[in-house]
Structure 1
Amino acid sequence: MHPLTGDLPAGWLRRLAPHARPVYRRAGHRLTRQDTPAEQFWLLHSGTVVIDLHVPGRGDVVLEELGAGTTVGWSWLVAPYRWQFGAVVTDDIRALEFNAAGIRALIAENDELGRELSARFLSVVADRLRTARHRLVGLYAYPADTT
């Protein structure tokens, strides 16, 4: 079981299951690109993914590395449903890929499920933003060496 969903009631898991499919992605595969439509999310079972952010003049800056037991993607939950960060597979992954539109429909149908999933993904959002802030401060706290 995955930490994000492992303790959900069986009835909710049965409702989520039709919107998920197992996937395998090789290293180098880009799962998401910043500012493109966010149409899915992933629960990682193995492998690694890096989260990146395009910074003008610096290119794609790696913010965080995610491994087994983590969740990739939260932008699907917040309109206008566009990726806030990019994500690239760095070590082949096995994951469950969820269709975001289907999960949003379930959330709209069931207030209790919606509150629970929203709270769980809010934790993911907070972790990603905290890590991004620390990484960017580290990059820009000191001027680049120009010698």
Structure 2
Amino acid sequence: MPSLSVFDLLTLHDFVADLPADRLQRLATAGRPVFRGTGHRLFREDAPADRFWLVQSGTVALDFHVPGRGDIVVEHVGAGAVVGWSWARPPYLWRFGAVVADDIRAIEMDAVRVREMIAEDAELGLELTARLLDTVSERLQAARHRLVELYAYPAATP
């Protein structure tokens, strides 16, 4: 069975599937299919945000570092999710970290090229920004729920 092109993969991904074909064709030039195994760190907080991933299968754990406690997982995301939004706004540094929790197949997008496309096509920029805002909102809600899980109940006293 022949492998699918990046364009074909984009047409199947929830984040961008409903974009017009001409925009998907342009976005396809900035992407490549990747496989990343369990345990592979996609990025760490404060590192340069120069790419993002459209997950096709598998699971990614989103985390942040807490001094004295290590990396705390905020959320797990899977097929249909976009991993990474910090690439879209200066200073282009990751706000969270991400590690593969279960082998993933994804479309890895070159964020610098996508930013260039957005600069040339304001309508594309508005559309991607709206979608990223939805993603950010979902992630903030997940972080809130995780904090409630961690701190809603008083710690057991000896």
**TM-score (structure 1 length as normaliser):** 0.96
Deviation per CA, 1:94-145: give whole Å up to 9, x if none: 0000000000011111111110010011101111111112212321233433
Pick from 81, 85, 94 the counterpart of residue 70 of structure 1: 81
In structure 2, do the counterparts of structure 1 residues 59 and 143 end up closer, same or farther at CA, with 3 Å as the change threshold? Answer: farther
Does residue 96 (structure 1) correspond to residue 129 (structure 2)? The answer is: no
1:79 aligns with 2:85: no
- Structure 2 residue aligned with 1:134, among 106, 128, 145? 145
Q: 1:51 — aligned with what?
A: 62
Q: TM-score, normalised by structure 2?
A: 0.89
> Which whole-Å CA distance do the structure 2 matches of 1:40 and 1:77 have between them?
10
Partner Cα separation in structure 2 for residue 146 and residue 60 of structure 1: 25
What is aligned with 2:156? 145
Q: Distance in 2 between matches of 1:79 and 1:136?
A: 27
How far apart, in 1, do the equivalents of 2:38 and 2:78 lie? 13
2:147 and 2:92 map into 1 onto residues whose CA distance is: 24
Say which SS state the counterpart of residue 45 (structure 1) adopts.
strand
Q: Corresponding residue for 1:37? A: 48
Paired positions, count = 147
- Where in structure 1 do 4 or more consecutive aligned residues deviate above 2 Å? 140-147
Q: Which consecutive unaligned segments of at least 5 residues does structure 1 have?
A: none
- 2-structure distance, mates of 1:55, 1:120: 29
2:40 corresponds to which letter in structure 1? H
Give the distance between the partners of 2:67 and 2:59, measured in 1 at CA.
25
2:16 aligned residue: 5
Taking a change above 3 Å as real, the CA distance of residues 98 and 87 of structure 1, as seen in their structure-2 partners, is same
Aligned to 2:28: 17
Pairing partner for 2:122 from 94, 105, 111: 111
Aligned letter for 1:6?
A
One-letter code of the match for 1:121?
L
What is the alpha-carbon distance in structure 1 between the residues aligned to residue 51 and residue 147 of structure 2?
26
Taking the aligned partners of 1:109 and 1:143, their CA distance within structure 2 comes to: 52
2-structure distance, mates of 1:39, 1:98: 9
